[in-house]
Structure 1
Amino acid sequence: MRFRPYARLPRPFKWPARVLTVLVVLGLLLAGTGVWAVRASFPQLGGELSVDGLTAKVTVYRDESGIPHIYADSPDDLFRAQGYVHAQDRFFEMDFRRHVTAGRLSEMFGAATLTEDRVIRTMGWRRVAEKELPLLDERTRRYLDAYAAGVNAWMRDSGGFADRSLEYVLLRATSPDYRPEPWTPVDSLAWLKAMAWDLRSNMSSEIGRALAASTLPRGRVEQLWPDYPYATNPPIVTRGSVGPGGFDQNAEPGTDSRATDPGTGSTRSPRQPGERAPEPTEGPSEQAPLPTEGPATQPAGAGVTADAGTGPGADAGTGAGDGGRPDADADVGALTRAAAAMRAVPSLMGDPAGGSGIGSNSWVVGGRHTKSGKPLLSNDPHLSAGMPSVWYQAGLHCRVKNPECPFDVTGFTFSGVPGVVIGHNDRVAWGFTNLGPDVADLYLEQTRNDTYLFRGEWKPMTTRVETIKVAGGADVRLTVRDTMHGPIVSDVLEDAKGTLPGMEAVAGQKADAVALRWTALEPGRTADSIFALNTAQDWQQFRAAASGFEVPAQNLVYADTAGNIGYQAPGRIPMRTRGDGTWPVPGWTGEYDWRSTIPFDDLPSVYNPPEGYIVTANNAVVDPRRYPHLLTEDWSYGYRSRRILDLLGQAVKDGKVDVAAMSALQKDSHTGLARFLVPRLTALEVAGPARDALALLRGWDHSQGADSAPAMYFNAVWRRLLIETFNDDLPEGARPDGGDRWFEVVRVMLERPDDAFWDDRATPGAETRDDMLRRAMAGAYDELTTRLGPEPRDWRWGDLHSLELVHQTFGTSGIGPIEWLFNRGPFPVAGSDDAVDAAGWDVQKDYTVGWLPSMRMVVDLADLDGSRWINLTGASGHAFHDNYWDQAPLWAGGRTVPMLSGLEPIKKAAVHTLVLTP
């Protein structure tokens, strides 16, 4: 993730009304009513409140962190109360989110957010959510209805703007006619689309490859996306293959006669790492609707040829006369528009820049390696920083757990969505990391008016007109065009013109539009899975729940109180008729369409592995030599997972693992990049005062604490090295961000001192590796001397690698008094992009932290009340409330608080008790 959070949205004050807003706020403060305006919306946390629709009393206990535990006699009352409590603490956040997912931000913030609304309306997130609702289980719909009723009961009780949130007081100055609408179940479902978007896997790499191909030949582009290093960084699942009944952790490759090529459906031997999927010699007929499960079929006799690099973009950039580089004036307008549209989508969880930095860690350790003899489970999803945090901690408990009321669950929730997303119940714990399969493809289209070319015929597009209401302005009409491959996303930004590079090599024609096919734009039943996970009691029920978690596809780790551990890969993952999803493909040929999805039973899983622990950190799921289906070609490169495996292996040798050891591992700041880069740096002779800075790296242990001088210099060198080495070769949008893909690119290049990328095209000579390393060290020294002073020993990583918690809307207003009300920080932060303590930053911008462990959790299956957790900010979304950011200093210091789940410990820790009555 690359920060600033929500930097593109909204800036409602970048217009004349900002002056009015400043005057209003200053007037409130000067009149002595500022305290009232701030505190008016603080919720009632104790005593009794009447809530419409309850059938019996509900009790809400809150500890000093404001974390609620809700006790009810029925699921309907439980989720009605959860909706009420979420709204008490986070309603403005919820209201803002639903306007994002519906493409209705301009109703709140005016014309400043029209671009965001246009893009989301084009994709139609809310339209998909509306189609999903009737597909859900009746029980799920009932829970969604109850939750919505609880939110609406709070809305009726909260009265005016000031009683709801300080944000509404400010919003009224610029959008006086705005009124929040009642909450609906679709508002909750649409949030899952935002979650899926921010965890959408390799789309940025797909765009990046195509943009890079506008300036480089195919071979040099592929060098920037190297093969996954299976030999050194093991995948999550290290055994098993697909057998007659699906994935079998005891099977060996080649035992399943139905193992098929993911691109063709034809029987084949497993691929080697990095080998592209074979491609058929002819394409399918017009695409049928994509099924969500079940084995795919293929017409008998479908031909197969080995992939010789003839896929889309294979000849991109094969212009004459410059070593295969295309002409300098090659126009990349359609793809540039599509890329800009992707970046315009508001990021509620992930990378606002659409980069590939999103990550997460989870691991589970079996009882034979723990002090208690029972499993331990750890999870820390890496998401964007914001105020308030994306997570909301809560406990949902039936007073008497039984088949009619089966919930006794504690964990992290999303405000606006009922249930618990990550956590544990009385028997089972689970965690998520992003699996990262390739679930989205960009199709290059040839269009003529409202038709598009497909297999030699001009077919009519499906069109619709969306009306966007704009606060303080006239309505805006948007025409959305869809092909069989999905919405035309390049239509949204019309200020660029042109076609894609190199597409003459595919079907001899150029594209003038880009369509998006993405699994989340097809209705599904992921919401059913949330409640099934919350109530699962064993491995079989857990897998059944996981089977419905379609988008976003996540790595699921599992542990239970009986002592079992496991891993399951769920998700709706397409099977392509041709291609591997790494490049935009021509839609008009009909050769690259999706034909089915990987059956759930074929997806990798493991249960009680012999090594006694499982690690996921966005690394490859399974070695393609033992797995017949293509999940993706664009994994994270395994530097974090390798470090976790090494440390866990050592911990197992040294003794039994406990909760404290799991928490300490979450804070490990070691960088795997230093292992191969530091020896090259320290082997060089460096002249001048930069020698003192280089001396910092000699004897450095490669840890990146906030007070580390070596870490500050090393990361400054890394930043300068990437910028100096690659920016001259690559267009914006394909330049390095600093993540672990670039670790692998540079690792390989360090063995090639004369690689063409080392040469600076702007200079007359030919630079080599050592030239660029010296240049990076000198540039880093100059930068840090200017910013931090002349003495290298006084530099500190946390001085520049810091976190500011920025409010999701008003925090980027550009008005000091407004930002002071809502933003908090900065905090010095340890770690880096692909340390276990993964506090990421973008080398193209600054060292400022943009994505991070959004929460940390360690569950002890021997003593659930001995579990630990921490949120990035706090429970409350109300500025100046005691729980607005009280967990942030603890988070920054690597500390956690008790994760209680038993009634007696919860009652003992409670500082507020609220009884909700019918």
Structure 2
Amino acid sequence: MPRPLRWFARVLTVLLALALVLAGVLVYTVRKSFPQVEGTLRLPGLTGNVEIYRDKSGIPHIYAASAADLFMAQGFVHAQDRFYEMDFRRHMTAGRLSELYGSSTLDTDKALRTMGWRRVAERELPELDQQTQDYLNAYAKGVNAWLSANPNASDRSLEYSVIKIQNGDYRPEPWTALDSLSWLKAMAWDLRSNMEDEIDRALIAAKVPRERVEQLYPAYPYDRHAPIVTQGTIDQDRFDQRAEPRLRGRAGTGALTQAAKTLDSVPSTMGTEDREGVGSNSWVISGDHTKSGKPLLANDPHLSPQLPSVWYQAGLHCQKVTEECPYDVTGFTFSGVPGVIIGHTDKIAWGFTNLGPDVADLFLEQVDGDTYLYKGEQVKLETRQEQIKVAGGSPVTITVRSTVHGPLINEVMSAAKPTGEANAVALQWTALTPGRSADAIFALNKATDWQEFKAAAALFEVPAQNLVYADTSGKIGYQAPGRIPVRAKGDGTWPVPGWTGEYDWRAAPIPYDQLPSVEDPAEGFIVTANNAVIDPERYKPLLTKDWAYGYRSERIRDLVKAAIENGKVDAAAMTAIQQDTRNGFAETLVPALMEVDLAGPGGQARELLKSWDGTQGVDSAAAAYFNAVWRQVLMLTFNDELPEGARPGGGDRWYEVIRRLLQLPDDPFWDDVTTKNRTETRDDILRQALASAYQELADRLGEDVASWRWGDLHRLELVNGSLGTSGIAPVEALFNRGPFAVPGNKDAVNATGWNVQGDYEVTAVPSMRMIVDLSDMDNSQWINLTGASGHAFHENYWDQAEVWAGGGLLPMHSKPESVRKAALHTLRLTP
């Protein structure tokens, strides 16, 4: 061999050897943190033996003799699979991310310290039932037992090995009950109501007259889209589903801009940065209409597509169900929180969708030095100091100032210039008052019938949710729980002056007994999809005016009715409804598009819409073109006049706005104010949207319109909730997965949301899907977005993702015999 070639071969050999060594080190580092799922482990603090069965998806079912042991084991299992996620979340909820990541997260920490989620949890803990406190502490003991057994970074997860490079001194603290409670505040934040809409209304009003702002927030179409509750009213201080109502007739923008920036700084933990993407579907069908003769219940919450998923599937089973150990529950949990959030026991099942009541108001304040004006007097601001530790830097101290209405949220950003009478914005939000939602979790998990379920729901104060219910006796029901404020004046849709006191909240919220509730409705089914709860003609207390507009709920209602008419409903019919991709606005917009004169190649693309049925599968060329046109219609119509933060995202509110504008061809919104000496009309904008959409897709997908695919545009990337957005490509490659082509769109039943101001990439998804069969719980089915494990490269890190993307479901085992039969691994914990 010539000398140069021998030299090259030696170098290559050395490089390959080094690569193998590095690969071996990486594999060892990655696998070292994988959990032990076989054999026996000693867990100090247990009072009896615990068995943990895991199936091929890594989903654990835990069996214990006492409730304390059950929740301690749940804490241990959560830590095995998801401790880094839990640690990240508790730093976020406490405003301590900068301790991990340095100054890049300071704005987030400032915003969270200002709202004080952790401080509220500190006040909340001693007010909880003693049993709840005991279970929270037992859970924390389980987490800490795992932490003690895994003292090194490489023992805990790959993320800690990566963080060690930048922040070598970091050591996780022991878990506490407060860490679990604080996460419930994050849940409430992501499922809050119309706070951003309040700001948007005010910011838009600085650009256009108020009556034109109101055009962008049309009333809910009760005549076309049914509310959840269609019967009953308040009678003798209680909601009575049989009663009938008496007929009735139908700010400072500078500070608000800073407040909007503060709100944007708070990370989304369950929802999505695109607020229009947050939603959910749930429905329940009576046994009168099912093949089994027992109810079927479906649920699929629409949240941000995180990796790992926000949900963790598990079964929590007392070895013998007794009054002392009453739990036999299977469902979706949050890592970091004991109990099951959504699921079923051996007797009942329940699902959640976001009720979305107006539980937060923005009060414009007049601040002067260390005082503020309130009811004609200068009142001293409440102040506190918050010190934020920063990895690699010096601590940062902020001063949080509050009025009677809440913290001044504009002050954690750069100073706002006074505008008009107001120079500050305070946030009043129900979740900033201690509550008992943690009590509700354990009460739900042991409820055995409708009355016990309603009693448990009464404790669920924030976030307010639509609860659907079914049980093995055949009963179905709906309950609206939550702490919902009563305002002395106003409807919560606009920021209001705080200094007058006339818009203050009354001391007591809407009483629980007055909130809408339905038991065994005559229709034989109940549908919730963030639509209006009840027509205000029959219900006086204000819940909110900012609902989703009922496109998903009405489509589900139609599909349920069709399934009933076609024969008895089964689980397959429920699955088909969950997978429905029909665009609810196509039947309105397509005819208008067809009437516009159009020349050039755009006409060929428009032909795709002639025979289109509105479905949005990944292979649909028509769906690709329609959504591109929809994007162009919204941007061309509104981006010239609306401020950047208040521009259309594309959700069903904009369906209603455009529906009405289509009847007003000369409305000022159609005119492009940036063009001189020309006034555009409806047809001008629709024509331009058709042409621009064609050009966009031709550039991206080629000129052959028949080859366009919606799935080539509408793609889901699974991004790790922390290091997946580090900006360091090799690190992101370790933790992120995908992309996947996915069907549907923002307000299809299969709600895969996207924002027209960005691109077509997916920003919100059905984060899990569940169908519960009350005739036999073992016939129930479920799927998680990603997988059980939070460890990158573990076989259960994202093994459910492809099944999820394809519309599939997994068996939801819950009976002991089926759990043991499906188990691939058994771990025994001993005292």
What's 2:588 paired with? 676
1:620-659 equivalence runs, <5 A: 620-659=532-571
What's 1:349 paired with? 270
What's 1:434 paired with? 354
Could you report, residue by residue, the CA deviation over 1:611-642 in whole angstroms, capped at 9, with x for unpaired residues?
10000000000000000100001000000001
| Deviation of 1:499 (Å) | 3.4
CA distance in structure 2 between the partners assigned to 1:31 and 1:485 by the alignment: 57
Could you report, residue by residue, the CA deviation over 1:118-152 in whole angstroms, capped at 9, with x for unpaired residues?
00000000000010000000110010010000000
What's 1:575 paired with? 486
1:15-164 equivalence runs, <5 A: 30=22, 32-164=24-156
| Deviation of 1:357 (Å) | 2.5
What's 1:555 paired with? 466
Q: Does 1:377 align with 2:290?
A: no
Q: Which amino acid aligns with 1:339?
A: A
Q: Is the 8 A contact 2:202 2:253 kept in 1?
A: no
1:689-768 equivalence runs, <5 A: 689-763=601-675, 764-768=677-681
Q: Does 1:399 align with 2:319?
A: yes
CA distance in structure 2 between the partners assigned to 1:176 and 1:31 by the alignment: 22
CA distance in structure 1 between the partners assigned to 2:764 and 2:122 by the alignment: 31
CA distance in structure 1 between the partners assigned to 2:545 and 2:632 by the alignment: 28
Q: Is the 8 A contact 1:205 1:356 kept in 2?
A: no
Q: How many residues align?
A: 812
| Deviation of 1:453 (Å) | 0.5
In structure 2, list runs of 5 or more residues that go unmatched: 1-17
CA distance in structure 2 between the partners assigned to 1:138 and 1:212 by the alignment: 49
Q: Is the 8 A contact 1:236 1:615 kept in 2?
A: yes
1:777 alignment partner, one of 690, 701, 714 = 690
Q: Does 1:493 align with 2:413?
A: yes
Q: Which amino acid aligns with 1:624?
A: P
| Deviation of 1:671 (Å) | 0.8
1:181 alignment partner, one of 156, 173, 176 = 173
1:334 alignment partner, one of 251, 255, 279 = 255
1:605-620 equivalence runs, <5 A: 605-620=517-532
Q: Is the 8 A contact 1:366 1:374 kept in 2?
A: yes
What's 1:388 paired with? 308
Q: Does 1:248 align with 2:240?
A: yes
SS at 2:537 equivalent: helix
CA distance in structure 2 between the partners assigned to 1:807 and 1:675 by the alignment: 38
Q: Which amino acid aligns with 1:662?
A: M
SS at 1:368 equivalent: helix
Structure-2 change in CA distance of 1:606 and 1:830 (3 Å): same
What's 1:566 paired with? 477
Q: Does 1:843 align with 2:756?
A: yes
CA distance in structure 2 between the partners assigned to 1:173 and 1:546 by the alignment: 46
1:786-825 equivalence runs, <5 A: 786-825=699-738
Q: Is the 8 A contact 2:529 2:553 kept in 1?
A: yes
CA distance in structure 2 between the partners assigned to 1:499 and 1:845 by the alignment: 32
Q: Is the 8 A contact 2:72 2:141 kept in 1?
A: yes
What's 1:546 paired with? 457
Q: Is the 8 A contact 2:410 2:416 kept in 1?
A: no
SS at 2:486 equivalent: strand
Q: Is the 8 A contact 2:280 2:353 kept in 1?
A: yes
CA distance in structure 2 between the partners assigned to 1:534 and 1:473 by the alignment: 45
What's 1:305 paired with? none
| Deviation of 1:885 (Å) | 0.2
Q: Is the 8 A contact 2:217 2:653 kept in 1?
A: yes
- TM-score (normalizing by structure 1): 0.88
Q: Is the 8 A contact 2:144 2:174 kept in 1?
A: yes
| Deviation of 1:332 (Å) | 2.7
CA distance in structure 1 between the partners assigned to 2:726 and 2:105 by the alignment: 13
| Deviation of 1:684 (Å) | 2.0
What's 1:884 paired with? 797
CA distance in structure 1 between the partners assigned to 2:480 and 2:253 by the alignment: 37
Could you report, residue by residue, the CA deviation over 1:303-359 in whole angstroms, capped at 9, with x for unpaired residues?
xxxxxxxxxx6xxxxxxxxxxxxxxxxx83210100010011011111224x23210
2:394 alignment partner, one of 474, 477, 502 = 474
1:198 alignment partner, one of 176, 190, 197 = 190
| Deviation of 1:159 (Å) | 2.4
CA distance in structure 2 between the partners assigned to 1:621 and 1:70 by the alignment: 37
| Deviation of 1:28 (Å) | 10
What's 1:226 paired with? 218
| Deviation of 1:733 (Å) | 1.3
CA distance in structure 2 between the partners assigned to 1:410 and 1:48 by the alignment: 24
What's 2:5 paired with? none
SS at 1:633 equivalent: coil
1:592 alignment partner, one of 483, 503, 511 = 503
Could you report, residue by residue, the CA deviation over 1:281-302 in whole angstroms, capped at 9, with x for unpaired residues?
xxxxxxxxxxxxxxxxxxxxxx
CA distance in structure 2 between the partners assigned to 1:499 and 1:645 by the alignment: 49
Structure-2 change in CA distance of 1:87 and 1:913 (3 Å): same
- TM-score (normalizing by structure 2): 0.97
Q: Is the 8 A contact 1:369 1:656 kept in 2?
A: yes
Could you report, residue by residue, the CA deviation over 1:444-467 in whole angstroms, capped at 9, with x for unpaired residues?
000011111011211001100001
Q: Which amino acid aligns with 1:440?
A: A
Q: Is the 8 A contact 1:271 1:624 kept in 2?
A: no
Q: Is the 8 A contact 1:204 1:356 kept in 2?
A: no
| Deviation of 1:818 (Å) | 1.0
SS at 1:575 equivalent: coil
| Deviation of 1:683 (Å) | 2.0
Q: Is the 8 A contact 2:300 2:770 kept in 1?
A: yes
Could you report, residue by residue, the CA deviation over 1:882-912 in whole angstroms, capped at 9, with x for unpaired residues?
0000000000000000001000000000000
SS at 1:843 equivalent: coil
Q: Is the 8 A contact 2:71 2:135 kept in 1?
A: yes
Q: Which amino acid aligns with 2:572?
A: A
| Deviation of 1:245 (Å) | 4.5
Structure-2 change in CA distance of 1:493 and 1:28 (3 Å): farther
CA distance in structure 2 between the partners assigned to 1:175 and 1:333 by the alignment: 38
What's 2:9 paired with? none
CA distance in structure 2 between the partners assigned to 1:219 and 1:234 by the alignment: 27
In structure 1, list runs of 5 or more residues that go unmatched: 1-25, 255-268, 273-312, 314-330, 505-509
SS at 1:478 equivalent: strand
Structure-2 change in CA distance of 1:776 and 1:911 (3 Å): same
SS at 1:827 equivalent: strand
2:338 alignment partner, one of 400, 405, 418 = 418
| Deviation of 1:199 (Å) | 0.4
Stretches of 4+ aligned residues off by more than 4 angstroms: 26-29
Q: Is the 8 A contact 1:332 1:498 kept in 2?
A: no
Could you report, residue by residue, the CA deviation over 1:743-796 in whole angstroms, capped at 9, with x for unpaired residues?
000001111111110000011211111110011011101110111111111111
Could you report, residue by residue, the CA deviation over 1:222-250 in whole angstroms, capped at 9, with x for unpaired residues?
00000000000010000000011400000
